[in-house]
Amino acid sequence: MKNVPLYLAGEFVDSQTSEWIDVTNPATNEVIAKAPCTTDAEMRKAIESAGEMFKTWKEVPVSERARVMLRYQALLKEHHDEIAEILAQETGKTFDDAKGDVWRGIEVVEHAANVASMMMGETVENVAREVDTHSWIQPLGVCAGITPFNFPAMIPLWMFPMAIACGNTFILKPSEQDPMTPMRLAELFEEAGAPKGVLQVVHGGKEQVDVLLTDPAIKAVSFVGSVPVGRYIYETGTRNMKRVQSFAGAKNHMVILPDADKQQVINALVGASVGAAGQRCMAISVAVFVGEAQQWIPELKEAMAKVRPGAWNDSGASYGPIISAKAKDRIESLIATGEAQGAKLLLDGRGCTVDGLPDGNWVGPTLFSGVTTEMDIYNEEIFGPVLSCVETDTLGDAIELVNKSPYGNGVSIFTSSGGAARRFQHEIDVGQVGVNIPIPVPLPFFSFTGWKGSFYGDQHAYGKQAVRFYTETKTVTSRWFSSEATSTEANFSIQLR
């Protein structure tokens, strides 16, 4: 048992709070740590420290800030498996899945090391006679990030390296369900040479989040989480005159045409639906079978029936437990509702057990067919290893179905037709599209571009859009008079007389 520390003003300190949150291992439900609900005084210290440090950090040359990120990514690689093991134990992810979580974060840090080229302004000479205009990209100030449980390495690393590389300081409020991974990231960031006070880490719940959303010293807030919380973050933050990017929920579809490779489709659906126990905002939760492709559902059932959950260090496990008993109960309730509303339950993951771990939050692979758009399992984000199959007659019907969804995080199509793929990617109203790729998460030099109810804000995460989000543009128009030019003009004037 350990108490998770705070990271304030460059020091790892024990909170003086009287309120603590249990951090549990979801495979056993044993308490493995306690996270503090940061006190008002500690929140104030974090904000003041970040504000004071911004005055000096913004003056550090961009090349020096980039070198901090280079050292940081080297340390993250060196400690990659260690971080993944911490992550696996507090989230329940399999070791391979946890390593992928860490690696995707490292890729963003590598991208942040290229920040100088992304902060270049623009210049036009002679916008008027002997008048020039140029723009500078400058940091905002103190920024904050509120991150979810499902990617405790990748998503914090989406945020604070990019913000800090741009010249800002940053306050991170990670999920209270798995705070130990973000704390290890903070330790390595300090070891990489980041000045004390550039990054602060606080813990807690809504009370601490509200401080970040309302304090005038915070200039921008990044969030990833559920739809209701995402809307609250966006509305509250913008109402308090902050720049906000809020990544919310999803209901991602995969459209399967009958000309696709059947085995590739089945393999992709199994991995994309139950991988990470379905606890990712880019998971495929709806399979749209077009025409004769509907005949593949029995083979999909056979493939899904072969996968099983297990402990993080079980090499035969396909995925881990659900993050909490409460989340497990919600998933099982939605499975029951789907059956009651008329969907055909082909695989039932309720009552799943894992040998030697009777108290874990286990849900087995679950498959529905005959799902309609009126059903709760179609409309709600289940966030579990549950896949709903929908049937349509044509590609046009499938596109119309997807476009009616209020969410627009990710979508994919599997086909061997270039024409069908082009039509799909052009007409679909979703921000991230995969063609024969089930989960189309872009690499960091592009941006994570959810649409509609999956995202509230203007600029997305990482890539060039993250630099725009964490910076402001200043435009300078100038005219200079040299003594030589003045003398020449005077002589010319005399000659004319």
| pLDDT at site 484 | 67
224: which 2 tokens? 């990833």
Q: What is the mean pLDDT of residues 97-125?
A: 96
pLDDT (tens digit, 9 = 90+) per residue, 129-172? 999 999 999 999 999 999 999 999 999 999 999 999 999 999 99
- Per-residue exposure over 476-494, b if at least 16 CB sit within 10 Å of its own CB, e if not: eeeeeeeeeeeeeeeeeee
| pLDDT at site 113 | 97
> What is the share, in percent, of the chain residues with pLDDT greater than 90?
96
Q: Which residue has the higher pLDDT, 489 or 387?
A: 387
| pLDDT at site 222 | 98
Q: Does the pLDDT at position 491 exceed 80?
A: no
| pLDDT at site 482 | 79
Q: Does the pLDDT at position 485 exceed 70?
A: no
**338 Cβ contact partners less than 8 Å away, ≥ 6 residues apart:** 345, 368, 371, 375, 376, 377, 388
- The per-residue pLDDT of the chain, averaged, comes to 96
| pLDDT at site 492 | 46
pLDDT (tens digit, 9 = 90+) per residue, 201-211? 999 999 999 99
Q: Which burial class, exposed, middle or buried, applies to 422 when counting CB atoms under 10 A from its CB (0-12, 13-18, 19+)?
A: exposed
272 within 8 A of 306, measured Cβ to Cβ: no
| pLDDT at site 487 | 53
210: which 2 tokens? 């509200």
Write down the number of H helices and E strands in the chain: 17, 22
pLDDT (tens digit, 9 = 90+) per residue, 399-422? 999 999 999 999 999 999 999 999
Distance CA 484, CA 495 (A): 17
The residues annotated as belonging to the active site are 281
pLDDT (tens digit, 9 = 90+) per residue, 239-256? 999 999 999 999 999 999
Q: Does the pLDDT at position 488 exceed 80?
A: no
Q: How many CB atoms lie within 10 A of CB 59?
A: 8
**If phi over 0 gives left and psi between -120 and 50 gives alpha, with beta otherwise, what is residue 383?**
left
**361 Cβ contact partners less than 8 Å away, ≥ 6 residues apart:** 26, 27, 29, 92, 321, 322, 323, 324, 325, 327, 328
Q: Which residue has the higher pLDDT, 290 or 488?
A: 290
Q: Does the pLDDT at position 96 exceed 90?
A: yes
pLDDT (tens digit, 9 = 90+) per residue, 22-47? 999 999 999 999 999 999 999 999 99
What are the chain's domains?
Answer: 2-248+462-476 (3.40.605.10), 252-435 (3.40.309.10)
Q: Does the pLDDT at position 397 exceed 60?
A: yes
Determine the residue type at 171.
I
pLDDT (tens digit, 9 = 90+) per residue, 299-329? 999 999 999 999 999 999 999 999 999 999 9
Q: Does the pLDDT at position 497 exceed 60?
A: no
